[in-house]
Amino acid sequence: MDLIPAPRIALPDEDGRRFPFGPQPVLDAGPGTGTAARWLRRELGAATGWELPAAAAGATAELRLRLDPDGAWDRGPESYRIDIGPDGAELTGASPAGLFWGAQTLRQLLGPDAYRRAPLPGRTWSLPYASVVDGPRFGWRGMMLDVARHFMPKDGVLRYIDLLAAHKLNVLHLHLTDDQGWRIEIKRHPRLTEVGGWRPRSRWGHRASPLWNETPHGGFYTQDDIREIVAYAAERHVRVVPEIDVPGHSQAAIAAYPELGNTDVVDTAALGVWDDWGITENVLAPTEAVLRFYEGVFEEVLELFPAEVSPFVHVGGDECPKAQWKASAAAQERIRELGVDGEDGLQSWFVRHFDGWLTARGRRLIGWDEILEGGLAEGAAVSSWRGSAGGIAAAEAGHDVVMCPEQQVYLDHRQAGGADEPMPIGYVRTLEDVYRFEPVPPKLSPEAAARVLGAQANVWTEVMENQDRVDYQVFPRLVAFAEVVWSWQPEPGERDFAGFEGRMAAHYARLAAQGVDYRPPGGPLPRQRRPGVLGRPIEGAPPNV
């Protein structure tokens, strides 16, 4: 069985028998299984033409859904079991989420055409006799999607939620604000999107490229768009983590509201939304007025992302240049008032303020690993991006950690060393490299290792101008990542990459049926290349930091 991610236990029938479905199978959805039943009727119904009517009393349905939270599940609340035999298929979940992941496995077993949006003429359907028992290694299995640098319209985000769910990934981290754009409507501060949501042009390629795309770029999600995205994700057991950057990566907000910046050293009224890549010096001023402004932003964010589906709120906290604070008399006076350790202490003060503010409202702060500098409040969690060191330090100090080191799982990095790779960024990270990524560093103590919530692959979009470019960079490597965070694997060097490649041969057909513009194993197609557009390739193996 070519299942991805690989299940814990998969026992196919030795004789290769299959259960054939008739033209209109019946569905028996037990108590509490309504979400999975709706998904099966909608998604499988589109591909097969099945209506999946409810089973009559006493009849045996070809598809049966059950919840068994009190069963002998030793693989956690997201575990499931599938049994396929002469009377059809029975899916049992330890929870609604587990049952949903079982439904994803069932879809894979039906074949690539089960991912289509309309039935193919003459297509018949069957399942192999088998038993599958499965559950994930990690509870946080995510992807960060940067919609600030290049905006992805709402339908594209919904599509990516479906793609995450198809691979049993359960976190979508949405990077909603940055220097180059503000993508979420805030009612009390309308200029954040009216002004901050648009830039006049964009650098074409890496920031060293001399080329420009002179087309104005922008867009944002209305509050109803966000509610739809969150609800759509929740129905697929995907949590959405919003990121609102403070105190750096804030030029779009300052362009909209100049009083947010360091007005005593910069003419902030002359600033626009940044049209280049990299790190700008324009950061938030360390004032009480700025805190009140962002508290208002976060109040609306919390209403849009309910705690039951979005317990974490990401505040960025990374790459905050200190030059303006050093030059600002107001910032220096603030340092003296607060008694903090210079400009680094000022950044820590920003993060600690919002940690306490979010905690008081039943949420948990998470930020990039720079938030460790200057000390971190007890309940805060860390996204370890600069390598593993930040995650190790955070976990050993008792903080929860999501591992996302740029050297391993930044999917904007190039996939091969050939000259045809479009806008090549960073180190070569092949499908095999991602498959051999290990989220738990071996040097962690057992107690600290338990603090690793999981991992996520990060998708920064400076050189990904549209959905096809995102697809090309993300797939097929996200498939390998999904197996890393779901399946219980041996040590990286002992993993069966050849076996994974064999299963990928079938999985490429599933991706194609879903319309994913993935990178072919043999290299980019002519239309996927970007000749003459500079990237920033880095040679050699990435450092282990």
120 phi and psi angles, rounded to 5 deg: -85, 140
- Does 249 participate in catalysis according to the annotation? yes
DSSP string, 411-461: TTS-S--STTSSS-EES---HHHHHT--SS-TTS-HHHHTTEEEEEEEE--
- Does 173 participate in catalysis according to the annotation? no
Q: What burial class does residue 400 get, using C-beta atoms within 10 Å of its C-beta: 0-12 exposed, 13-18 middle, 19+ buried?
A: buried
Select which of 150, 175, 249, 314 is catalytic: 249
Residues 467, 518: contact at Cβ < 8 Å? no
Question: What percent helix, strand, coil does the chain show, rounded to 5?
Answer: 35, 20, 45
The sign of the dihedral angle between the CA atoms of 503, 94, 140, 309 is positive
Select which of 319, 341, 420, 501 is catalytic: 319
CA distance 482 to 475: 11
| Helical (H) or strand (E) element with 294 | helix 288-304
CA distance 510 to 475: 12
- Does 178 participate in catalysis according to the annotation? yes
DSSP string, 298-359: HHHHHHHS-TTT--EEEEE------HHHHH-HHHHHHHHHHT-SHHHHHHHHHHHHHHHHHH
CA distance 13 to 486: 24
**Residues 6+ away with beta carbon under 8 Å from 292:** none
Q: Cα 495–497–503 angle (5° rounding)?
A: 125
CA distance 356 to 335: 19
Which residue type does 495 have?
A: R
Q: Could you count the other beta carbons within 10 Å of the beta carbon of residue 206?
A: 19
Give the DSSP letter of residue 274. Answer: -
DSSP string, 158-218: HHHHHHHHHTT--EEEEE-EETTEE-B--TT-THHHHTTTEES-EESSSTT---EE-S-EE
CA distance 96 to 160: 21
**Which three-class secondary structure state does DSSP give residue 232?**
helix
Of 464, 471, 462, nearest to 518 by C-alpha is 471
Which residue type does 485 have?
A: V
Select which of 28, 134, 178, 421 is catalytic: 178
Give the chain's length: 545
Of 170, 162, 172, nearest to 46 by C-alpha is 162
> Which residues carry out catalysis?
178, 249, 319
